[in-house]
Amino acid sequence: MKEIKKAIFPIAGMATRFLPFSKVVSKELIPLVDKPLIHYNVEEALLSGIKQIEFVARPKQKDFLNYFNRDLDLEKFLEEKGKKEELKDLKEVEEYFKAVDFSISVQKQAKGPSNAIYQAKKFVGKDPCGVFFCDDVIKSEEPGFSQLVQVFKTCNRSVLALMQMPDHKLSSYGVVSVEKIANSFYKIKKVVEKPKQGEAPSNLAILGRMILTPDVFDYLSSNKRLMENDYSITQVLGKMAEEGSPIYGYEIKGEWLECGNKKLWLESFVNLLLDNPEFGPEIRKKIKEMKI
């Protein structure tokens, strides 16, 4: 069984829910407290054993790489101005992420997430790989993706990250029909995208982490029409499951911080801010003073 050392980060979406901000800056650079969304996701990948990341981006979209690359002019400026703490923070980030090799493939036209992931087919080759959607951040003791890796070792098949959601929220997610195998571990029978109120097949929603095996890319190669109709990769996996391919799901242990739109992002921002050991106590004090 091959270890999972590669991950795809599909970031080519136009992020229209974050306009006008996303007109000039990639959504993945939106801050969540003191770090951009992409930082949390790449850090989770690194802590889960990932060594290679391929970003699938829009043409000319490269601003996100500036976060990880060295900026010698900025370092020189900070040194000259005696800003030692700022320079230390900058170099820590640069040094930390040197352990990951980054590459880019391009999605030339906006044809949805399954098409975006397919652009990384050459990068993946015959290896299993992870997929990270940066508008989901997982707050947990064990990295969310690492939990999927442990499950993959037992099934050696594609695995979706799942989390239980209240009934009234299920219509906003992809929801799975499942056969329970063990505690928190399921075989996927079907995926229903944004089911109508009261029609969800379970209370298990899909969040933005998964492991894909090479047969998924073979399936996409044989069913290219799916990549022309803005199909999500979870819908593709659902079709594969219905046709008999073994696809699994695992309930992630942790808290799901959603950042898919402004409201969810702000809620997640406040959640993480109040728990932050550096900023949280002072913010809580300010809120108490404001008598909110």
Which pLDDT does position 273 carry in this prediction?
A: 96
List beta partners, residue 185.
182, 250
How far is Cα 284 from Cα 249, in angstroms, rounded to an integer?
38
pTM reported for the whole predicted model: 0.94
Q: Quick check: 144 and 209 in contact, CB under 8 A? A: yes
| CB proximity list for 72: less than 8 A, separation 6 or greater | none
**Per-residue pLDDT for the chain (292 aa), expressed as one digit of tens each?**
689 999 999 999 888 899 998 888 899 999 999 999 999 999 999 999 999 999 999 998 889 999 998 899 999 999 999 999 999 999 999 899 999 999 999 998 888 889 999 999 999 999 999 999 999 999 999 999 999 999 999 999 999 999 999 999 999 999 999 999 999 999 999 999 999 988 999 999 999 999 999 999 999 999 988 887 678 999 999 999 999 999 999 999 999 999 999 999 999 999 999 999 999 999 999 998 987 6
For residue 116, how many other CB atoms are within 10 A of its CB? Answer: 25
Rounded Cα distance, 120 and 208, in Å? 17
pLDDT recorded at residue 112: 84
Closest to 137 measured CA to CA, from 34, 29, 32, 261 = 32
| Domain 6-290 in this protein, CATH class | alpha beta
Domains in the chain: boundaries: 6-290
Name the region of 17 (left: φ>0; alpha: ψ -120 to 50; beta: rest): alpha
